[in-house]
Amino acid sequence: MHPYMVQSGDTLLRIARRFDINVHALLAANPALSSMTPMVPGILLAIPYGTESIYCIQPGDTIIGLADRFGCTIQALSAANPHLDLKRLVPGQLLNIHGRARKRIIDARAEYGHRELQRDIALLEREYPFIHVRAIGESVLGKPIMAIKLGEGPIKVHMNAAMHANEWITAPLLMTFVEDAASACHKGDKLCELDIRALLKKVTVWFVPIVNPDGVELAQEGLHPGHPNYSELLRWNRGSTRFTKWKANARGVDLNDQFPAFWDQEVERRDVHGPGPRDYPGHAPLSEPEARALADFTRDECFDLAVALHTQGQEIYWNYRGYEPEGAVNIVKLLAQASGYRPVKLKGSDAGYKDWFIYEFRKPGFTVEIGNGVNPLPLDSFYDLYDEVRPLLLTAMEAAGQV
C-alpha cells in the first residue's frame, strides 16, 4: 500500500484510473469508504499496489528518456501524472509508472470532464499537429468551451456533446472518435472501411465535446461547499448535494431549451418557472453563455450539417416543423442503417440546438440519443456505445456531401 491524498475533482473512478486498479480493490483497501461516499479533498487513502510503480525522478531525467526506459508512451506518463509538469521534471518528484502501457490517449475508465478534456486536447495536439483547437466561449463559471477541428475540405460538419450534464458520457465517446479519426488520417489507415485521409480532404469537422462543463462537473462530483453558487444550487436541487440527475448548467438552465426556435412555445410547454435540474428554458433565448457561444460559433462557421449527441433511447431526431431540407430523410436512413438506431419524426419539441439549426439555416441537423437505460449511462457500456456511434458519425461526415 502507499498513501494518496484526495485532490479537488477526484472521484473513486478517477483515483482507480490514475493508479490502474479497480474500484473494488480501492474500496477493500479503504473500508471506511463506500461507492456513495463523496470524495472530500484532504482525505488520506491507502492505494493498493497494482500494475503501477512509483519512480523518484533523478537529476538529468527527461520525459523521453523515462518513456523509453519504462517501455511506455509519453502520453501514458502524462495521463498517469496529471499533477506534474512533465516538461520541467524536478529531482525528487515521484512519478507514477504504469506497468501496462495504454495505447490510447482518451481513457474512458472514469468520469470525463473539463480537466480530462484539457489534458487530452494538449496530448492530441502534440501527437497530431494537423489538429486545430480554439475556445469558442466560456461557461457561467469561466471554463473555456473548446472546439477541435479535423480536415480541410469545403464541406463543413459540426458535432457536439455533453450539453446535458448527466449525459456526459457523450464527451469521451466524441473524443474517442476524434482520436481514432486523427490516428487513421495520420497513418493513412481506414476506419470502418473508410479512407479517412481522403474523407478529410473533402470535409472539415468541428467538434465541441463538452458544451456544459460546469454542469458536467456537478453531475460527476456533486456539490461542495466551496462552489460559488452553492446556496442557490442546493435550493434548486431540493437540498441534495448529489447531482447525478442534473441536466442543467450552473444557473439551473437547460441549455437544450435555450435556442431561438419557437422558444416561447417551449416555455409554455415546459411550464417550469425557475432554475432547477432540468427543463427550465431560462428567462430569454440564448441567455446562457454556453448556448450563446455555440450559436455564435455555428453562425460564424456556416456548417452544412450538424449532429448533437445526447443519451438515451437509440433514436435519431431529424426533422423540425417542416423546415428540414428534402434530403434530410435520406440522410437519417443512412444514419439509422449505420447505427441500428430508429429514425423518429419528432413533434412537440422546440428550442433545441438541432431545432434551431434546421430552422435558422434550412440544413440537415440531427439529435442522436445514444444507448438505452437510465442517465447517466454506466461506463461499463462505453465500448458497446462507441461501436454504435462511430459508424453513425462517419456516415454523417460522408452524407454531408449529399446536401
User: Does residue 310 share a domain with residue 197?
Assistant: yes
Quick one: pLDDT at residue 50?
A: 62
**In this structure, are residues 13 and 111 in contact, taking their beta carbons and an 8 Å threshold?**
yes
The reply to whether 281 falls in a domain is no
Same domain, 87 and 129: no
* Number of domains composing the chain: 2
Select which of 324, 369, 388, 398 is catalytic.
369
**Which of these three, 73, 98, 123, is where a domain ends?**
98
315 is catalytic: no
* CATH number for the domain harbouring residue 392: 3.40.630.10
Provide the residue-wise pLDDT of the chain in tens; the chain has 403 residues: 778 899 999 998 898 888 877 787 888 889 888 776 678 888 899 888 765 678 899 999 988 888 777 767 776 787 778 778 878 899 999 888 765 555 789 999 899 999 999 999 999 999 999 999 999 999 999 999 999 999 999 999 999 999 999 999 999 999 999 999 999 999 999 999 999 999 999 999 999 999 999 999 999 999 999 999 999 999 999 999 999 999 999 999 999 999 999 999 999 999 999 999 999 999 999 999 999 999 999 999 999 999 999 999 999 999 999 999 999 999 999 999 999 999 999 999 999 999 999 999 999 999 999 999 999 999 999 999 999 999 999 999 999 977 6
CB 111 within 8 A of CB 169: no
Domain containing 186 equals 114-214+288-402
Q: Does 354 fall in a domain?
A: yes
DSSP 341: P
Residues 6+ apart with CB under 8 A from 28: 48
What confidence tens digit (pLDDT) does each residue in 95-134 have? 887 655 557 899 998 999 999 999 999 999 999 999 999 9
354-358: list long-range contacts, CB under 8 Å, 24+ apart: 354/306, 354/308, 354/317, 354/320, 355/259, 355/261, 355/262, 355/320, 355/321, 356/259, 356/260, 356/261, 356/295, 357/298, 357/303, 357/306, 358/261, 358/319, 358/320, 358/323, 358/324, 358/328
Q: Are residues 34 and 142 in the same domain?
A: no
Of 53, 69, 98, the position where a domain reaches its end is 98
> Which of 98, 125, 144 delimits the end of a domain?
98
- Do 327 and 202 share a structural domain? yes
- In this structure, the answer to whether residues 187 and 329 fall within a common structural domain is yes
